[in-house]
Structure 1
Amino acid sequence: MKPNILIIDDEAYNLDALERIFRKKYHIFRAENGKDALDIIRTQSIDVILSDQRMPGLTGVEVLKQSLEFQPDASRILLTGFTDLDSVVKSINDAKIQLYLTKPWDNTQLELSIEKAAEAAMMRKELKIKNKELETAYQNLSELDQAKSNFVIMINHELKTPLTSISSYLQLLKEEIHDGEQKTMLNGIEAGYDRLQKLIDDTLIIIKSQTDNLTLQKKSVSMKDTLTNIISSLQPELDKKSISLDFKAEDSFIDADANLITRALHELVKNAIKYSPNGEAININWSANKVSIKNIGHLDEEKIAKIFKPFYVDPSIMNHSNSTGLGISLSQAILKAHNTQLQISSQNNTVEASIQF
């Protein structure tokens, strides 16, 4: 499609001459005065406005200035005589004039100037369209993300009600059933219940953190005691893989939600145990308000990037694991609510997860 050019000049022979120069490459609109020019500007899409300065009624600068309201993306070029230069230069910013050319004009220079002006105008319009499309897409994504969060919260809420009933029935059955095989089956049901309950709780924490609705019950928390208790609870898993533990901790405190911070750190230590080879060592250190958990292993940059995506799920849960697979996402959500974040690095066959409080 040809760019649209509006040529404004009160002398018909100038309009004819300019139209002959540009009609092959451009769609031409023409006006002999400012009033007619503004009528065109209000009703047509114009890419370049080329106006003479000295005309009866409105001057070229006045027309170009008023055109800003209706054609903000158009390129504006002013044709002027030497005697008008002082007044033009003073007004050039008000009218956002990209270029002014003196009469008599050089055809080659004028053609080149119009070509560049048309390209610039069309690029501005295209950029505005693209920006609008991006804004719309972003708005749609935001609405979709909010709808997803609302849906997950609703589903979790609906699941909690029957789970409460299941829990009550399980307790009654445990009191009544004494047969060994039936108790084994009941234990399997209870394990499934526990996993589903944890999945709901983990998901709600992640969603609430993403929407800044996670409420913290902060108090002074001993990190040394917290990590000691976590290690103690995971000792069977350490023993199962013959993993040794090097644990060092300062006796210092942070202001945090004790239950949530314990859950976050528990997931990280558990993750280190899970991916450590049998018989290796894990190093856990707490000093200078920083937790560091190191284990033998390797993560490439692509895998690390995936880990930091919202709702990252450990693929290994597909292999009938008892975990929900949301451990890292859960830890990150809790840390976000505490105004900090998880850092993961991998070098020299060592993976380090660290948090600066």
Structure 2
Amino acid sequence: MLEPDALAALAARYGIGETLTGQVLIVDDDLGNLDVLRAFLDADYVVHEARSAEIALKLLEVERFDVIVCDQRMPGMTGIDMLAVVRERYPDVAGILLTAYTDTPVLVDAINRARVFRHMHKPWEPEDLLGAVAQASAMVQQRRLNARLLELLSARSDELKLALDELRAAQHKMLHLERLGTIGRLTAGITHDLRNTLGGLTLLESLFEAQGVAPRLMSPLRVGVSATRHLMSTLSTLHQFAAGSLALKEEPIDLSDVLRDALVLAGLEMEQRRSRCVITVEPGLPPVRCDRARILQVMVNLLRNAMQSTDAPQSIQVEVARTPGGVSIAVQDEGPGVAPEIASRLFDPFESTKGAHGLGMGLYMCRLIMEQHGGSIRSVPPVPPGGGARFVIELPRGPDDR
């Protein structure tokens, strides 16, 4: 867990107020035991007491507690039964169970069903009890802070979506301007803003990994970080094209290696969408002279386009083959295909296969990269029995490959 000072700094950074109430609920049917517990806890906490589990559950409906300290043996509902209910209704509250019994079934039940924070045997030592309550409070503080950070992350995602919606509304005004020059200035500003957003997302990702946040909560965050990095890479490449500063670093490349790397980069989103990719490579293909990083960009973009063509799980086909002039790579999805009304403008800026959900920059970037390589990218009819969209890129043979 993070130290208290680190927690306070993190909360202050994101404007999160105090997450602890300072309130502890003690539950025991013995009035004498309640008096002893209160005597030790009163100095550091606001202590409430209940003489039965039923009364305690009623108190929980009107008060917010950080920690519950309860006895196991009580008339009616036992301590474990009560803490199991608390765990279900108020998962951010920590439970400490006091018992004079050491039998294994009670311990197993306390851990597995009630998820108690600490199991303490009677007679307990005052310093042990105070230490347990302090540790439980620290755990509750961190748990609530993590939950609040997740809420903020969701809000930031909404802000990013709003920013993208505003950007799309401005597209029509930009069509009358000099495209590459205008795009260069635009991407510089967006990239700067996205860099700040990515920094915050990356920090949250590191913090959540360190705290062991559940994979089901981490997965959407990781996909968001990956998508933001991909968008930044696309915009950065377009900015370099606009500035005339994009120089290719060509070398002999095995396209199978590039495809494997592209699958790694797109793998998290593909797993989340429950889709798969089937790659077929013609045997005996020679290395192709190209800029590995740029062709990798093209392949990741085509794979992401294919994944996002439908919300349903699908099988994406990738085929690498020799052509009379070089090597081709085809990517085919199982989505609805390319709408006829945009087919002729598909590789222009601001034309998207995703309609209102896309910026329309990805395929334009692919076109620029392929043209700089002396190659091409085009949309062709799908190969039966499949459907959807099919994109083919072609790279020419280098002088040494003829």
Compute the TM-score of the two structures, normalised by the length of structure 2.
Answer: 0.43
Q: Which of the two has higher C-alpha Rg?
A: 1
